[in-house]
Structure 1
Amino acid sequence: MSLNGIDVASYQAGMNVGEVMGDFVLVKATEGVDYTNPEFSRHAKQTLSAGKKLGVYHFIRNDSDIKQQADYFLTVVKPYIGKAMLVLDFENTSGSTIQNQAGVGLAKQWLDYVYQKTGVRSLLYTGISCENSLDWSALVNANYGLWIAQYNNYNVVNGYQPRDLYGSLKHWKTAVMFQYTSTGQLPEWNGNLDFDVFYGDKAAWDKYAKATKVPETDNPTMNPSEPSGAKWVKENKSYMLKTAVKLRTAPATDASVIAVLPAGSTVKTDQAIIQGGYRWVRQPRSNGYGYLATGPASNTLEYVETSASHAYYEVISGDSWWSIAQQYNTDMNKLAKMNGKTIETEIYPGDKLLVK
């Protein structure tokens, strides 16, 4: 399931975004500490009134204090916090060069501050060359999602036509959203538009918009013997925990296959499917377009399963995977959902979490 939509700024003045085809609209809100998009309020209201999903973003600059920029953004978008996806736009512009390794630290500072103030974990927007060239491990480890941009050319794209990402991501396992052209055309607007695809349904969008922890200004006093960011119901159940799959041999392939894993590589069982006699693992590409061939399922995979009685916890109020690991003073890989996942992810009310 995926959603199609556009992102807009002051360039789309006069557009009624609620009447434009699509499932969502991402609206530029602020830039630096002194610029608010004059179309922001109108476009945000039109989006929600039309029943579309809303995203709001801040364009970061390196010529002003990062926390002041975050506070400025939060003041402008305050009516939409909890309703809209929050995004930090990390780009290269004249007079404000931000796409360098020092800029990554500034981005992390902004994202952390907004998370502390709102409980909402924002996305980062940037281009694929920037994602490939800088070290983003601090953001990946802190579980901030990625909205990736890449244009293969500037030919007109009539109507939503999500495509595969050319190349691959270096740091994130997958992107939340993909901006694949800046020359999109829709009948409701006489001009170019940015087209985006979101890899999820409306419920998934809402999870990105909602708080996953209590904002720091509202934190209640917690029992120090309990995790400080989430509430739990402890239960004991016996279940089968699946671990990673190890390849016995490197598989044969042909030119139609994207890539193969060498012998000894591991993949997570929940990230793979079997089709046409081959094991395929999803690539961080475009809504399931790209898969990694790991060889015939019959002779190259080794499953390891263990069965034991474990204590697990049902989450009452959500928190981040990273935060729970910090609270338990353990590695993120030692946390697992009851469905066997051990990837870095958000957790939400109703999830069942095992601390291995």
Structure 2
Amino acid sequence: MNKIKTLAVAGALALSLGGAMALSSTPAHADIYGTDVSSHQQNYLANNWDFAIVKATEGTGYINPLMYSQSLQTQQNDKHLGYYHYLRSDSDVIAQARYFVSSLSAEDIANPNVTLWLDFEENPVDGNHFTGNEPKQFMDEVYRLTGKKVGLYTSYFFATGANGRFDWSDISDHPLWVAFYAYTGNSQLTPEIKAWAEEKMLNIPWWEKVTMYQYGDGDGYDWDYLYGDWSDLTGSADDNSSTVTPAPPVSNTTDTVSFNGVYVVDKWQSYGANWYARNNDMSVPVADYNNDMPVQSVTLTDRYGNALANQVAQGNNGAMEYFTLNDNYKVLSRVGNSIQIEMNGESVWLKVAYVK
């Protein structure tokens, strides 16, 4: 996540590994590996992991611009999906909880296989400093709004109380995800590191065991191991159940949709040499390349839908601009309340409520 970690020095690790023994009390389970991603990972490779926890929000003013495309990639590759919020100490906790929930789709909130997490750390860059009461407040508000129990992501130092600073007895029934690296740059969970890490994970106050731990940050990714099964987080009887309800299949390649409204251009956006139009109501959150419409697909109009003689956009100069979408567009896929269509040869995601 935001580079939270507790590092064991090489000598201590060698000593621990030398004396580590296989824990016969460790319950048997399938190995499940995952990663957590933010805008830093861009378009990560979802098929490299069993699950991904996608950054959704931070504070009350930031949404991961790749949140939608990263979660969509996770779902389309049939991997388990979760979202996390990075908590700021300079913003109201309840407001942050509501902001986090507002970034999620109704489908993700309703889907029992989609998990939610709180990233709780202190970073000298942003000045975070907490009392320890914040996780409980955040978790309770999210549960009130969604019915979902929020898990805690934090460092080993914080999880063990930060030398008496924190008492986690009020959230000990929530999933715990601990960052505890043997060394930086690691991307392999060798038997030796696994035995060392899991011995540490069984000795955290308040929790009988952790749900998962983060064992490395190599190759530009965080590497996580689920100490159990995904069903331990969701209550699902099927460990391999899809993270998303399958979308209605597209019957054939002639399946098309059209639009009959007059829409406002909220923003013109350029990607390279190409320009795209964005309407905030139609676009799937959050705003990125995947849900902006190629300029060649829109017809500029007056407020009543009459095509303008001059089809040159005014740019983001504050002038109100209107447009229509006049073609029938090929449907590529449907997921929940979103639809993927082909516009001017490109894939665009929009809200299904706006098509007919």
Q: Does the Cα contact within 8 Å between 1:26 and 1:55 map onto a contact in 2? A: yes
1:135 aligns with 2:167: yes
Partner Cα separation in structure 2 for residue 93 and residue 63 of structure 1: 12
Deviations 1:278-335 (A, max 9, x none): xxxxxxxxxxxxxxxxxxxxxxxxxxxxxxxxxxxxxxxxxxxxxxxxxxxxxxxxxx
* Structure-1 residue corresponding to 2:213: 178
Partner SS state of residue 133, structure 2: helix
Q: 2:85 aligns with which of 39, 58, 71?
A: 58
1:111 aligns with 2:130: no
Runs of 4+ in 1 over 4 A off after TM superposition: 95-100, 158-162
Deviations 1:156-186 (A, max 9, x none): 3347877132643122111011111112xxx
Q: CA deviation at 1:106?
A: 1.2
- The higher radius of gyration belongs to 2
Q: Does the Cα contact within 8 Å between 2:153 and 2:178 map onto a contact in 1? A: yes
Partner SS state of residue 116, structure 1: helix
1:10 aligns with 2:33: no
- 5+ long unaligned stretches in structure 2: 1-28, 238-356
Corresponding letter in the other structure for 1:32 = G
Corresponding letter in the other structure for 1:23 = D
Partner Cα separation in structure 2 for residue 94 and residue 137 of structure 1: 27
Task: Name which structure has the greater RCO, CA cutoff 8 Å, separation 6+.
Answer: 2
Q: CA 1:147/1:196 → structure 2, altered by over 3 Å: closer, same or farther?
A: same
Partner Cα separation in structure 2 for residue 55 and residue 208 of structure 1: 15
Partner SS state of residue 174, structure 1: coil
Deviations 1:97-140 (A, max 9, x none): 4454x1x2111100011111111111010011111122111111
Aligned 1:114-193 pairs, distance under 5 A: 114-132=142-160, 133=162, 134-140=166-172, 143-158=173-188, 163=194, 164-165=196-197, 167=200, 168-183=203-218, 191-193=219-221
Task: State how many pairs are aligned.
Answer: 196
Corresponding letter in the other structure for 2:214 = Q
Deviations 1:194-239 (A, max 9, x none): 1111122343343289xxxxxxxxxxxxxxxxxxxxxxxxxxxxxx
Q: CA 1:13/1:74 → structure 2, altered by over 3 Å: closer, same or farther?
A: same
Partner SS state of residue 45, structure 1: helix
Greater fraction of residues in strand: 1
Kindly, what percent of the aligned residue pairs are identical? 33
Aligned 1:244-283 pairs, distance under 5 A: none
Q: CA deviation at 1:34?
A: 0.5
Partner Cα separation in structure 2 for residue 131 and residue 202 of structure 1: 21
Q: CA 1:171/1:122 → structure 2, altered by over 3 Å: closer, same or farther?
A: same
Partner SS state of residue 77, structure 1: coil
Q: CA 1:176/1:99 → structure 2, altered by over 3 Å: closer, same or farther?
A: farther
* Structure-1 residue corresponding to 2:95: 68
1:38 aligns with 2:65: yes
Question: What is the root-mean-square deviation of aligned Cα atoms in Å?
Answer: 2.2
Partner Cα separation in structure 2 for residue 207 and residue 120 of structure 1: 11
TM-score by length of 2: 0.51
TM-score by length of 1: 0.51
Q: Does the Cα contact within 8 Å between 2:41 and 2:220 map onto a contact in 1? A: no
Partner Cα separation in structure 1 for residue 190 and residue 72 of structure 2: 23
- 5+ long unaligned stretches in structure 1: 184-190, 210-356
